[in-house]
Structure 1
Amino acid sequence: MEELDLQLLCQEISKKYFHKKFHHQITYNSRLKSSGGRYILKTGNIEINPKIETILGKEVLIGVIKHELCHYHLHQEGKGYRHQDRDFKMLLREVRGHRFIERMEPYRYVYACNSCGATFYRMRKIDTNKFRCGRCRGSLILDFSSEG
């Protein structure tokens, strides 16, 4: 989807679900790695991870846009726009936006606790001498690495 199509889609979603106009810009940002999108407080613009549509599909893209529009409209109205705010949770539920999206990339490292057997998934390698199990404080071992 091109930037112009993304802008039109966002304006359409804003009118249909929020009954309000979207007056700012929505663009793709390929530097976003771990999130589907973000609302920028200072500018009022929205950035979307381009992998969302290509990997997860248009329905997920629409859900992510709804999520970011919740931040946008609540912030513009001076209401609670953060994830933990009641206003945000209620509006997100009302418009049926996505709260979480599935991972687009597999985890690279899997660690296991020597004591309780708990499993921890990580994208980055951790120092097993420095970090302990969050459940029982036991020592961790590298269980799997997808590094070649």
Structure 2
Amino acid sequence: MNEQDLQLLVEKISLNYFQKPFRHQATFNSRLKTTGGRYLLHSHNIELNKRYYEQLGLEELIGIIKHELCHYHLHLEKKGYKHQDPDFKKLMKQVGAPRFCKQLPERPKTNRSLKLYVYTCSDCSLVFKRRRAVNIQKYVCGKCKGKLKKVSVLTTD
């Protein structure tokens, strides 16, 4: 599905379920990670997460579109468009829009190696393990304020 197909789908759903036209832009936003879609208050556009369509199918995408169109139409009518508003809850029930979208299946973990930086305090010999490098010129031991010394960098595969 491309952007043009998405725009037509949103316009069709708006007319079929809300009996009102959708006069703004519907796009896929690849930066959305934790949500199926969002309605933008200032531009009135709707952004959708394409991974929901790819992984869960058209039915899930249609549910997300209905949910976002509830925000859209209520906001334009100057009614309660937020999740907790009675107008929103009522309209969601009328059109059969889901309150939440399903969770995406887990993404496969990337095979990047993990670095572990090991430091020791020159005074009290306390060992520090960190995932990020520490500037030993700037930071000192949190226990005794002694000077830090880099011991090693461990790499796990």
Q: Larger C-alpha radius of gyration, 1 or 2?
A: 2
Normalising by structure 2, we get a TM-score of 0.67
Gaps of 5+ in 1: 108-147
CA drift at 1:99: 1.1
Match of 1:81 in 2: 81
Map of 1:129 onto structure 2: none
Look up the match of 2:58: 58
- 1:46-71 superposed Cα distances (whole Å, 9 cap, x missing partner): 00001011011100000000000000
Aligned residue pairs total 109
- Summarize deviations over 1:13-50 as a string: whole Å, max 9, x none: 00000000000000000100000000000000000001
Q: Which runs of 4+ in 1 moved over 3 A?
A: none
Gaps of 5+ in 2: 108-156
Amino acid corresponding to residue 12 of structure 2 in structure 1: E
1:1-148 map, 5 Å: 1-106=1-106
For residue 106 of structure 1, report the CA deviation from its aligned partner.
3.3
Of all paired residues, the percent bearing the same amino acid is: 56
Amino acid at match of 2:86: R
* Partner Cα separation in structure 1 for residue 106 and residue 5 of structure 2: 30
CA-atom RMSD, angstroms? 1.6
1:62-114 CA deviation, whole Å, 9 max, x = no partner?
0000000000000000000000000000001100012112211439xxxxxxx
Question: Helix, strand or coil for the counterpart of 2:27?
Answer: strand
